[in-house]
Amino acid sequence: MSTQPTTNAVPSESPRDLKFNAGKIDEFVTSLALKYQDRFGGEHYTIEGLRWLAQQAIAEFGWIPVGTFQDGATLTLPNQILKDTTDGEYYRWDGLFPKSVPTGSTPSSTGGVAIGAWVGVGDSALRIMLASAQGAGIVGYDRSINYSDGTVGAILKSLPIYPSQFGIRSIEQGATDPQDTKTRLASLCAYAEANKSTVFWPAGTYVFPPNTVMKANNTRWYFSDGCLFKMWDTKVINQDFLIINGAVNQHVNNFTFDANRSVQGDADFGADRCGFIIISPDGCTFNNIRIISSPGKGFGVTAIPNTGIVNNLTIDGVRGGNCKGQAFILDGNNITTKWTGLNYVGNIFIGSTDHAGCAINDGVYNIQFGPIHCETGSLVWDSVSVRDCTDLQFSTTKGKGGTNGCRVFSLNSISKRIGLGDMIGEGAIQSGVLLLQVEDVTGGTVGGINNGAVGLNIAQRVVSGTSYRCKNISISNPVGYDNRATPLQQTGLLVQGCDNFYCGNPLAYGNTSKNVSVNRSVSSNINIPWEKRSGPTTFTLTGGSTVDVSFTWPVSGAASGDTAFETTDYDIAVEVDIASTGAPLCVWGVKSKTVTGCVIQIASIGGSAGTGVVAVRGTRRP
């Protein structure tokens, strides 16, 4: 029967209390319970409870590894642990401190494994260390390993990689060796391709030598605002700057480059070399590419000759200029490569540059174009140039400046099956839009504003005396006017070498001396809607002569009372039919007009003589 204590005040000298307390001392020392009750019912920790409490405190602050049993150590704190290399387990000392462990020891040889001696901490040490702020630093990870889905390793590999992980620094971070930066970029590309990584480049200027390769299949690259890839200052001779060759499913976003034209100059870089060139891409996208400068061409896409393919290409957003060569160029490599799949190119905005703002050349085909707006300061090149291409569909295109604002033409092959969409040329030396030896071309609002000679020019190409004419051209809304205070543009619409031309109602040909001029052979089929027609009338030119041909509105059969225009604010189309042989070479223009008729002046060129037929059409201006 247990002793019943009193409720005497402390300290009590009652024999009953002394006997009760003797039992409690035994309970405090030997019990495995964490707490015991005193004679007033209050709870207190036993030695086991104090040990448990110490463990909780140790867990709160974490274990401290101090070495191994085999290397020896001295422990001075209860949360210090030693590793036994024979089984990989960690142990804490549960006895008195300090605890000295000689070299070559084991838990068994230095006190044994028991309460009051060595106590294994098991995986609790690992859990505690992982939960600490330093836990992430003790977890193993190898970027070269393919981890299973759903594991921490797989998640880590899915995170973006950064150039700093490969030792790449910007010049703001102290980089001084572009060749070393190029080498480290190659390591980044190899890792990114192997792991299908997303690559994130922070702001900064990264300097590289020429022929720097950026290819990494199945990757996504994102560049922060303020991130710039720049060519080094060392003189470069006939080399590209940045290259992506044969990439599959690589996506580049918000990328800015500078081929360092101000330092490199234009003489040695190479006319056909690019600041950034893409070769034979497959399923790649390039969004928001910005060109700062290039001593050659700017941003170009091509394919390996004969065997190369451009497949499923998307380019959405190219800006910049200041290039010696074409600022943006798509090149079919002399009609030897294939363009397959769904290809889109749009939002091309090129500021003033020294060559064509946008050039689409040599066999490019099968592309859907979005908006294009280019400007050139060149007196030799066209602002937008399309040569020897097929199966292209444009949407909204504007070319400003240059010899021609926009030129679509044939040189080594026929440009055909092209939808111009709405295409306008402005401020060019010659034509706003020039179609030269092209076939099967359609367009909406097409022509020019405030150009030097012609708004919309549909022409034949003459090679060694042989004429190559345009065929099957249909423009629904031709445009050609000059609204400057002193007009310079001579002709709104000029057709001078086309078989099967259809023209919808013209939008405007105002303030041009010739309005509309049509020069056709007897085999051509020209369809231009006009309100009134007069002629045809035969004319004869002798060498160096000029003749005036008068016309009266309208022709026989016109509606009753429709004998004149209300004002002289109307447009005139002049059509000249010449025989296939013995035809005079001539030019013509509107000499004068009244509400009832007009006078067309025709002049011989180079002493040419012969006979032709001329007719005129007139319509009110919209």
pLDDT tens-digit series, residues 31-69? 878 888 888 888 887 877 777 767 666 555 567 888 999
| Per-residue pLDDT tens digits for 161-181 | 999 999 999 999 999 999 999
Look at residue 430 and tell me if it is in a domain. Answer: no
Q: How far is CA 467 from the centre of its chain?
A: 41
Look at residue 14 and tell me if it is in a domain. Answer: no
Which SS3 state, helix, strand or coil, does residue 477 take?
strand
Residue 557: pLDDT band by 50, 70, 90 thresholds? very low
What pLDDT shows up at residue 558? 46
| Per-residue pLDDT tens digits for 311-365 | 999 999 999 989 999 999 999 877 677 888 888 999 999 988 888 899 999 888 8
Q: What is the mean pLDDT of residues 488-500?
A: 82
What pLDDT shows up at residue 532? 78
Gap between the Cα atoms of 584 and 238, Å rounded: 50
| Per-residue pLDDT tens digits for 275-295 | 999 999 999 999 999 999 999
Which SS3 state, helix, strand or coil, does residue 502 take?
strand
Look at residue 354 and tell me if it is in a domain. Answer: no
What pLDDT shows up at residue 524? 60
- Can you point out the beta strands (E) in 450-596? 454-459, 461-463, 466-468, 470-481, 491-496, 498-503, 515-521, 526-527, 532-541, 546-552, 570-578, 586-593
Domain that holds residue 122: 62-136
What pLDDT shows up at residue 622? 56
Q: How much is the mean pLDDT over the chain?
A: 85
What pLDDT shows up at residue 482? 84
Q: What is the mean pLDDT of residues 450-468?
A: 88
Residue 125: pLDDT band by 50, 70, 90 thresholds? low
Residue 489: is its pLDDT beyond 50? yes
Which residues are CB-contacts of 362 (< 8 A; sequence separation ≥ 6)?
A: 331, 332, 333, 334, 335, 387, 388, 389, 412
Residue 223: name the closest of 172, 305, 289, 177 by CA: 289
What pLDDT shows up at residue 516? 64
What pLDDT shows up at residue 51? 74
What pLDDT shows up at residue 563? 67
Look at residue 120 and tell me if it is in a domain. Answer: yes
How many CB atoms lie under 10 A from the CB of residue 344? 14
Query: Alpha helix (H) ranges present in 31-103?
Result: 47-61
Look at residue 496 and tell me if it is in a domain. Answer: no
What pLDDT shows up at residue 77? 82
Gap between the Cα atoms of 340 and 366, Å rounded: 7
What pLDDT shows up at residue 518? 63
120 contacts 114 by C-beta, under 8 angstroms: no
Residue 580: is its pLDDT beyond 70? no
Q: What is the mean pLDDT of residues 529-555?
A: 81
Look at residue 405 and tell me if it is in a domain. Answer: no
Query: Which of 136, 158, 181 is the C-terminal boundary of a domain?
Result: 136
Q: What is the mean pLDDT of residues 577-602?
A: 73
Look at residue 111 and tell me if it is in a domain. Answer: yes
Residue 98: is its pLDDT beyond 80? yes
Give how far Cα 29 sits from Cα of 33, 196, 357, 376, Å: 10, 63, 92, 96
Query: Which of 89, 115, 136 is the C-terminal boundary of a domain?
Result: 136
CATH number at residue 103: 2.10.10.80
What pLDDT shows up at residue 391? 93
| Per-residue pLDDT tens digits for 351-408 | 888 888 999 998 888 999 999 999 998 888 999 999 999 999 999 999 999 999 999 9
Look at residue 166 and tell me if it is in a domain. Answer: no
Handedness of CA 146, 152, 154, 157 (dihedral sign): negative
What pLDDT shows up at residue 534? 81
Which of 76-80, 467-471, 552-556, 615-619 has the lowest average pLDDT?
552-556
Q: What is the mean pLDDT of residues 592-610?
A: 82
Query: Which of 94, 121, 136 is the C-terminal boundary of a domain?
Result: 136
The enclosing H or E element of 330 equals: strand 328-331
Question: Any idea which residue has 């500078």 for tokens?
Answer: 258
The total number of structural domains that make up the chain: 2
